[in-house]
């Protein structure tokens, strides 16, 4: 299984946003991809985003899923591939 928490730790949201072409302004805000946003309403934090207009909220995996029209699992796979994370499919140590 993918470990979303591990991805969240390893891939900064701003880093992923930049890599995937989401423009984040100097105030750390971006135009929301979850609603038709004319002004940057979505605040990009290091580990999550929050849109103050529509209330969209999530982590780097949610953002990637939305940007590319992927399921959350597919988005996690993409993040692993793009950021060179290889261990998330390893079985959890029990
Ligand atoms: Zn929004």
**Order of strands across the sheet that contains 57-58:** 29-30, 42-44, 49-51, 57-58
pTM recorded for the entire structure = 0.86
Q: Residues 33, 37, 38, 41: is their CA dihedral positive or negative?
A: negative
In this predicted model, which residue has the larger pLDDT, 32 or 93? 32
Domain spans, the chain? 4-85
52 CA to centre of ligand 1 in angstroms: 7
The class level of CATH for 4-85 reads alpha beta
| pLDDT value at 19 more than 70 | yes
CA of 68 to the centre of ligand 1 (A): 16
Pick 3 or 64 by higher pLDDT.
64
The predicted pLDDT at position 86 comes to 80
pLDDT at 1 over 50: no
Distance 78 CA to ligand 1 centre (A): 23
Residue pair 33/42 in contact by the 8 Å Cβ criterion: yes
Neighbouring C-alpha atoms within 13 Å toward the C-beta of 44:
24
pLDDT for the residue 87: 59
Please, which pLDDT band fits residue 94 given cuts at 50, 70 and 90?
low
| Predicted local confidence at residue 91, as pLDDT | 55
């Amino acid at each position: 299984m993918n470990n979303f928490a591990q991805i969240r730790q390893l891939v900064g949201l701003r880093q992923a946003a930049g890599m995937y072409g989401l423009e984040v302004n100097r105030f750390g805000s971006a135009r929301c991809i979850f609603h038709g946003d004319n002004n940057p309403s979505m605040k990009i934090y290091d580990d999550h985003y929050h849109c103050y207009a529509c209330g969209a909220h999530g982590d780097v995996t949610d953002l990637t899923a939305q940007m590319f029209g992927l399921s959350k699992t597919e988005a996690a796979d993409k993040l692993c591939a793009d950021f060179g994370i290889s261990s998330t499919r390893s079985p959890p140590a029990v």
